[in-house]
Structure 1
Amino acid sequence: MQEALNILIGSWREGFVQVSGFVGATILLFSLVQYRFDGRLTEWLKENRRAQPLVGALLGLTPGCGGAIIAMPLYIRGTVSFGTVVAALAATAGDSAFIILALAPEAAIYAYGLAFVSAVLFGYAIDIWGLGVGRVDDAVERIGRPMTDGGFATTSVAEGGPSVPDYETPSCHDHDHGRDLPSYLPDSRLLERASHAIHVLWWIVLAGALAAGVTYLARGAEEPVWEIAATYDGLFTIAGLAGTTLSFYLYFVGRHYIGDGETGRVRDSFASVYTTFQHAAMETAMVTVWVIGGYLAYEYGMALFALDIQSLAASAGVLAPIGGALLGLIPGCAAHIVFAQLYAVEEAVPFSALTANAISQDGDALFPLMAIDLKAAIIATIYTTVPAVIVGVGVYYFWPFAQFGFGVL
C-alpha cells in the first residue's frame, strides 16, 4: 500500500514538471502564432492539401508534444488529412526528445532526422495509396464505435475522416454559464471568479515547472529529492504537486466556468491575448490529466510485473528495435521518458531501438484524438508502428552506429 501511494505522489509531482511544463509552453507558442495571424495559417493548410503531411511532420519534429497536439484537432474538424495526422505522430518524439537532445545530441540528430523522413514519406503514402487503412478501419469498427465528446460524430477514417469538415468552433464568447454545466457543478459566479484566479495561478506555477524542467535536463535527468524549500529540489516538488492539482481542477471544474469547456479543439482566431492563454491552459490541463493516467499505468505495471528493461534490451538482438517500436503503442510520455533515460544515462538501449521508438511513439499528442475519436487514434498509432519497425530493423542491420551509447555525451 505504501509503495502504491509513493508511485501516486511521485507521478503527481513528476508528470507536470517533466511533461506539462514543456507542453504548455509549446501550445502557448503555437496559440500566440494563431492569434497573431488570425486564422490565416489554418486557411493556408486547408487550401494546400499537398503540403499537409510535410507540415504535419514539421509540427511533430518540434521537441515536446505541442506541435503534434495542434494537428489533432485540425484533423477532427476536417482541415487536414489522415496522412497528416500519421506524419505528425510519427515525427514526434514527445518529451523524451528533451532528454536525448540534452544528453545525446548526436544521436538525436540522426534518430529524429530518420523519424522526420519516415513520417513525411509514410504520410504521403497513406494519403495517395491508402496503404490498407480501410481494412484496419473495419477491424477497429468491429471492436467498438468511434468515441466522441458529443460534439459531432466521425465517419470511416478510410473515407476521409470527419463527417463535418466545415465544423466551426464556437467563439470564446459563446459559453453560457449554467447552461452547459455538467450535473455535478452548480451555476456559481463565485466558482467562475475562482476559476479565473486559478487559471492565472496555473500559469505562474507552469513557469516554475518549466524552469525546474530545464534544470532537471541540465543536471542529467537526475531525480530531485523531496523537499519544500527555496531550492531547485523544492521548486520541482512544489511546482509538480501544485501544477498537477490545479490542472485537474481546470479540466474537471474550471473549464466549464471560464468559457473553454470544449478541449481538443483548435480555433481559427482568439479574441484577446487572455483568451489565447486560457485556451492553451485548458489544452495543457487536459493533456496533464491523461499524462498522469499514463504515468500511473506504466509505474504500476512495472511494479506489478517487475520487468528489467535493461537486461531484456541487452539480450534481444534484432528484437530490440521491434520492442522499441511496440513500446510506442503506449500513449503519453512516461514510458518513453524512462526509455530515453535508459539510452542516454544507463546506455542500456541500442540506437536502433531508440530510432524505432522515436518514430512509433506519439507522446501526448494522441490524447486529444483519443478524447474525441478513439477509433482514429487507434488506427493512427497502429500506422506509426509500421515505419518504426521497418526503419528500426534497417538501422540494426545496416547502420554502423546502431549499438549502445552512440552519441551519448
Structure 2
Amino acid sequence: MSELLDIFLASVRDGFVQVSAFVAVTVLVFSYVQYRTDGRLVRRLEENRRAGPLVGALMGLTPGCGGAIVMMPLYVRGSVSFGTVVATLIATAGDSAFVLLALAPEAALYAYGIALVAAVCFGYAIDRFGLGVGRVDAAVASLRPALSDGGVAAPAVGNQAHHYADAEGCAADDGPARDSAFGRWVSRVALGAWWLSAAVALVVGVLYLVRGAPEVPLAVGLSYAGVFTAVGVAGTALSAFLYFVGRNYIGHGRVGGGRDTFESLAETGTHAAMETSFVTVWVVAAYLLYEYALVFSGVDIAAVAAAAGILAPIGGAALGLIPGCGPQIVLSAAYAEGAIPFSALVANAISQDGDALFPLIAIDKTAAVVASIYTTIPALFVGVAIHLTWTAVFGLPQFGFGVLG
C-alpha cells in the first residue's frame, strides 16, 4: 500500500510541475494573442489559402491542441483546403508534447521536426494531386447512411476544399451552467489559487530542468523537494476541482472548443486555466495508468517493445488513430521511461490528431475518418523508415534518445 500511495502522490505531483505549468504558459500566450488581435489572426488565415498547408502545419505544431483546433472551423466554413486540415493534423503535437518536451526535449525536437516536414509535403501533395481523396471519401461514405449534417461535396481534382455546411448548435457555450453566488465565489478563489500554484510550479519546473531532471523525493517542508511536492499536489487538486466543479460556475466548460477571440483579459486567463486543468486531469490519469500497469502486470514493457521490432512504429501509428490526447500522453511517458523506440514515437507524432479531431467529428464523421486515414499513411512510411535507418545511418539509439537524466 505504501508503494501504491507513493506512486499516486508522485504522479499527481509530477504531472502538474513537469507538464501543466508549461501548458499554462503556452495556452495563456496563445489566448492572449487571440485577445490582442481581436480575431484578426484567424481572418488572416482565411485570406491566404495558398499558404494553408504550411500555416496549418505550424499551427498544429504548437504544443497542445489549441492551434489545430482553431483550423477546424475554418475548414468547416470552406475557408481552407482539405490538404490544410491534413497538414494540421499530421503536425499536431497535442498535449503529449508537454510531457515529451519536459522529459525528453531533444527527442521532441527531432520527432516534431520530422512531423512538420511530413505535414507540409503531404498537405501540399493532397491539394495539388488529390492522392485519391475522392475515392476514400466515397468508400467511407458507403459504410453508413446518407449524411444529415451537410454532406460531402464532390471535390475537384487537385483542390480538395471539401465544403461542409455549418451544423446548428456547434458554437461553444462558455457560460456558467449553474447559478450560485457561493459556488462562483469558491470557484473564483480556486481559480486564483490555481494561477498562484502554476506560477510557483513554473519556477520549480524550470529549476528542475536546469538541474538535469534529477529524481526529486516526496517531501514536506520548505526545501526544494518540499515545495516541489506541495505545489504539485495542490495544483493537481485545484485543477481537478476547476475541471469537475468550478467550470459549472465560472464558465469555459467546453474545453478544446477553440475561440476566435476573447472579450477581456479576465476571460482570457480563465480560459487558459480551464484548458490547462483539463490537460492536467488527462496527464495525471495517464501517469497513473502507466505506473500502476507496470506494478500490477509485472510486464517489462521495454523488453516487449524491443522484441516487437518493426511492429513498434506500426503500433505507434495505430495508436494515433484514437482521438484525443490521453493515449498519446501515455506513449510519450513510456518513451521517456525507455519503454518504446524512437521510431514508434515519430510514427505516433505524425498519426495522432489530438483533441482537434473532435470538432470535425461533430460536424461530419466522414471528413474525420478520411482525415485520420490520411494522417496514418505518412506515419507508417516515416515510422518504418526511421526504424530501419535511425541507428544504422545516423548512429543514434532507438531507446532513450534525448531523454533527460
Deviation of the 1:283 alpha carbon: 2.0
Kindly report which structure 2 residues correspond to 1:5-404, keeping only aligned pairs within 5 A, or say none: 7-63=7-63, 65-68=65-68, 70-71=70-71, 83-94=83-94, 97=97, 108-126=108-126, 129=130, 131=133, 133-134=136-137, 137-138=140-141, 160=162, 163-164=165-166, 169=171, 175=175, 180-181=177-178, 187-329=179-321, 331-332=325-326, 333-342=328-337, 346=338, 349-362=340-353, 365-366=355-356, 369=359, 375=365, 380-381=371-372, 383-398=374-389, 400-401=393-394, 403-404=396-397
Give the match's secondary structure for 1:315.
helix
String of CA shifts for 1:189-237, please: whole Å, max 9, x gaps: 1211222222122111112222333333334444421123223322332
Find the aligned partners of 2:116 and 2:243 in 1 and give their Cα distance.
32
Find the aligned partners of 2:142 and 2:217 in 1 and give their Cα distance.
47
Give the match's secondary structure for 2:260.
coil
Worse-superposed segment, 92-101 or 385-394: 92-101
The residue type equivalent to 1:25 in the other structure is V
Worse-superposed segment, 209-218 or 90-99: 90-99
Question: Unpaired segments of 5 or more residues in structure 1?
Answer: 147-152, 182-186
Identify if the C-alpha distance between structure 1 residues 232 and 314 changes in structure 2 by more than 3 Å, giving closer, same or farther. same
Identify if the C-alpha distance between structure 1 residues 354 and 4 changes in structure 2 by more than 3 Å, giving closer, same or farther. same
String of CA shifts for 1:261-297, please: whole Å, max 9, x gaps: 4333333322221111112122222333333444444
The residue type equivalent to 1:90 in the other structure is I
Find the aligned partners of 1:370 and 1:20 in 2 and give their Cα distance.
26
Asked whether the equivalents of residues 19 and 98 of structure 2 are also in contact (C-alpha less than 8 Å), the reply is no
The residue type equivalent to 1:59 in the other structure is M
Asked whether the equivalents of residues 58 and 116 of structure 2 are also in contact (C-alpha less than 8 Å), the reply is yes
Deviation of the 1:33 alpha carbon: 0.7
Asked whether the equivalents of residues 197 and 235 of structure 2 are also in contact (C-alpha less than 8 Å), the reply is yes
The residue type equivalent to 2:259 in the other structure is R
Deviation of the 1:78 alpha carbon: 6.8
Identify if the C-alpha distance between structure 1 residues 402 and 359 changes in structure 2 by more than 3 Å, giving closer, same or farther. farther
The residue type equivalent to 1:164 in the other structure is D
Deviation of the 1:75 alpha carbon: 5.6
Q: What's the RMSD between the two structures over aligned residues?
A: 4.0
Give the match's secondary structure for 1:390.
helix
Asked whether the equivalents of residues 336 and 403 of structure 2 are also in contact (C-alpha less than 8 Å), the reply is no
Residue 157 of structure 2 is matched in structure 1 by none
The residue type equivalent to 2:115 in the other structure is A
The residue type equivalent to 2:379 in the other structure is A
Find the aligned partners of 2:245 and 2:104 in 1 and give their Cα distance.
41
Find the aligned partners of 1:52 and 1:391 in 2 and give their Cα distance.
23
Identify if the C-alpha distance between structure 1 residues 189 and 33 changes in structure 2 by more than 3 Å, giving closer, same or farther. same
Find the aligned partners of 1:383 and 1:301 in 2 and give their Cα distance.
32
Find the aligned partners of 2:207 and 2:18 in 1 and give their Cα distance.
11
String of CA shifts for 1:93-131, please: whole Å, max 9, x gaps: 446656766787665554332210111233344556363
Residue 149 of structure 1 is matched in structure 2 by none
Identify if the C-alpha distance between structure 1 residues 136 and 61 changes in structure 2 by more than 3 Å, giving closer, same or farther. farther
The residue type equivalent to 1:254 in the other structure is G
Identify if the C-alpha distance between structure 1 residues 234 and 256 changes in structure 2 by more than 3 Å, giving closer, same or farther. same
Asked whether the equivalents of residues 290 and 367 of structure 1 are also in contact (C-alpha less than 8 Å), the reply is no
Identify if the C-alpha distance between structure 1 residues 297 and 213 changes in structure 2 by more than 3 Å, giving closer, same or farther. same
Question: Unpaired segments of 5 or more residues in structure 2?
Answer: 155-161
Asked whether the equivalents of residues 332 and 345 of structure 2 are also in contact (C-alpha less than 8 Å), the reply is no
Identify if the C-alpha distance between structure 1 residues 56 and 361 changes in structure 2 by more than 3 Å, giving closer, same or farther. same
Q: Name the TM-score, length of structure 2 as normaliser.
A: 0.77
Asked whether the equivalents of residues 321 and 393 of structure 1 are also in contact (C-alpha less than 8 Å), the reply is yes
Q: Name the TM-score, length of structure 1 as normaliser.
A: 0.76
Identify if the C-alpha distance between structure 1 residues 170 and 327 changes in structure 2 by more than 3 Å, giving closer, same or farther. closer
Find the aligned partners of 1:141 and 1:234 in 2 and give their Cα distance.
56
Identify if the C-alpha distance between structure 1 residues 17 and 92 changes in structure 2 by more than 3 Å, giving closer, same or farther. farther
Give the match's secondary structure for 1:307.
coil
The residue type equivalent to 2:239 in the other structure is S
Deviation of the 1:45 alpha carbon: 1.8
Asked whether the equivalents of residues 256 and 356 of structure 2 are also in contact (C-alpha less than 8 Å), the reply is no
Asked whether the equivalents of residues 76 and 165 of structure 2 are also in contact (C-alpha less than 8 Å), the reply is no
Find the aligned partners of 2:283 and 2:110 in 1 and give their Cα distance.
27
Deviation of the 1:64 alpha carbon: 5.1
Find the aligned partners of 2:103 and 2:7 in 1 and give their Cα distance.
26
Find the aligned partners of 1:260 and 1:381 in 2 and give their Cα distance.
28
Residue 184 of structure 1 is matched in structure 2 by none
Deviation of the 1:360 alpha carbon: 2.7
